[in-house]
Structure 1
Amino acid sequence: MKKLLAVIALQLLVAAVLVVGATPSTAVTCVPTQLAPCLKPIMNGSPPSSKCCSKLKEQKPCMCGYIKNPNFAKYVKSPGALKVAKACGVTIPKCK
């Protein structure tokens, strides 16, 4: 159960990070589980895959929503998520 909760939490973190790179004109459905390809890199520091980076960029319009959600914010701003975002060339937005 703890591992499942950790995976879900990491997926939410990844989702928040992925939101940063998407184009605003593109309709995006904010689904944190789409960031699953980024879980391993966030957890173990391995380089993110191209699929992870593309999903991260695709979810960009969702990022501020994830950051404003107390359940997701701590994951989006975690050192692992920030490292993955940087490796993918995605900037975490400063949300109002």
Structure 2
Amino acid sequence: MKATFIAVCTLLVLLLAKTEVTMAVTCSPTQLSPCVSAITTSSPPSTLCCSKIKEQKPCLCQYLKNPNLKKFVSSPNAMKVASTCGTPFPKC
């Protein structure tokens, strides 16, 4: 259950990411694991968290379409983390 929560939080961060990617991105919600504490405790996101959000931006709309991930990716804390990282929530 804890692993699922971490995966969902990771996806939440991804949905909020903004970046331009010049090479193919592998969409994997687990890439957002550096953001779990920022999303769950409202602590400031780390540099690694912000870079992962930006990296996963192309995947965020895909994560929003997944009913198991949507509630985490679109949570207020996830949106706050994305905003703090300078990556506005995508319009899908």
| TM-score band, normalised by shorter chain | 0.7 to 0.9
Q: Say if 2:46 is the partner of 1:49.
A: yes
Unaligned runs of 5+ in 2: none
Residue among 62, 83, 86 paired with 2:80: 83
Indicate conservation of the 8 Å contact 1:37/1:49, yes or no: yes
5 Å-filtered alignment, 1:1-96, equals 2-17=1-16, 20-95=17-92
SS in 2 for 1:40: helix
Indicate conservation of the 8 Å contact 2:7/2:32, yes or no: no
RMSD (Å), alpha carbons: 1.5
Instruction: Return the TM-score normalized by structure 1.
Output: 0.84
Deviation >4 Å, runs of 4+:
none
- Per-residue deviation, 1:40: 0.2
Unaligned runs of 5+ in 1: none
Instruction: Return the TM-score normalized by structure 2.
Output: 0.88
Give the percent of matched residue pairs that are identical in Structure 1 and Structure 2: 52
Tell me the number of residue pairs that the alignment of Structure 1 and Structure 2 aligns: 92
Give the Cα separation in 2 of the matches to 1:28 and 1:89. Answer: 19
- Per-residue deviation, 1:28: 0.6
Indicate conservation of the 8 Å contact 2:11/2:30, yes or no: yes
Give the Cα separation in 1 of the matches to 2:64 and 2:52. Answer: 17
Give CA-to-partner distance per residue, 1:37-70, whole Å, 9 cap, x none.
1000000000001110001001111111111222
